[in-house]
Each structure stands twice: as structure tokens, then as C-alpha cells.
Structure 1
């Protein structure tokens, strides 16, 4: 994943942004840094997407 790449397009915030990702006004989630994508389900029901930097 490189900065600016779209990770997911969605209607509403089904997925929430985590570390090193941004969210557009149409709720599109995109990478802000290079790395690997990590999808996480939290105990409170919130699902997040993060980008983990890889050296």
C-alpha cells in the first residue's frame, strides 16, 4: 500500500479509520503512509482499518 491508495469505499462509516489512514467526505478510507493494511474488530463493535509501516 502506498500513500493515497484507496483501501475501501463505503456508504456510511461501516469501517472507521485507524492509524496512518484518512477518511474522505464520502467516507472513503485511504492510506496516508506506506505499509501493510490491518483490519481490526474491537470489542465495542467498532471495526477499524489501519496501515502498519513496514521497513
Structure 2
């Protein structure tokens, strides 16, 4: 016989696996063609020059070069100002 009565149980002990999203290569880093730059859900970062976008919104390098992040101001239909972050690959010429 147990000398201590059983305690209650919790039904909240679950958690999903981490998706490992985020920026993988930062501005100023040199990367090869095909390297993943950003993993994201939706378009937080937009593809720019020499950058492709996968069906899951992953941004990757189309050419070898240096990563560059830029911000662009956009005016929406009701005059609100948004900043979009665009990822470019600057190739050596």
C-alpha cells in the first residue's frame, strides 16, 4: 500500500517541435548559390536581386555573393507607412 495518496495529473504536458525559423545568413556574409538565407512563415522578408523564394517562403541565394538587407517604405491605401525588408545578393563584378 502506498503511504502517500496519489496526486493529480496534468493534461498540459505537450509542446510542438521547434520549426527552426529565422535568418540563417546575415548581412555582409559571403554565400554560395543555393544557400538558405531565411526560413520564415509568410513574407516577413522579401526576395530581391539574385534571391529566390521557395513554396514555404524560404529565401535562398540564386548566385554566389554577399548578403545585403535593405528596407523600403511603402504607403498603403489608407496612407499608413510600412517598411518591407528586402534581401539581396550582391555579386562581385
Same fold, judged at TM 0.5 (above):
yes
Q: What is the aligned-residue RMSD (CA, Å)?
A: 0.8
Residues 1:9 and 2:39 are matched in the alignment: yes
By how many angstroms is 1:46 displaced? 1.4
The partner residue of 1:43 within 66, 73, 77 is 73
Matched residue pairs, number? 55
- Give the TM-score taking structure 2 as reference length: 0.57
- Give the TM-score taking structure 1 as reference length: 0.94
- 4+ long deviations beyond 3 Å: none
Of the two, which has the highest radius of gyration?
2
Gaps of 5+ in 1: none
By how many angstroms is 1:35 displaced? 0.3
Gaps of 5+ in 2: 1-30, 75-82
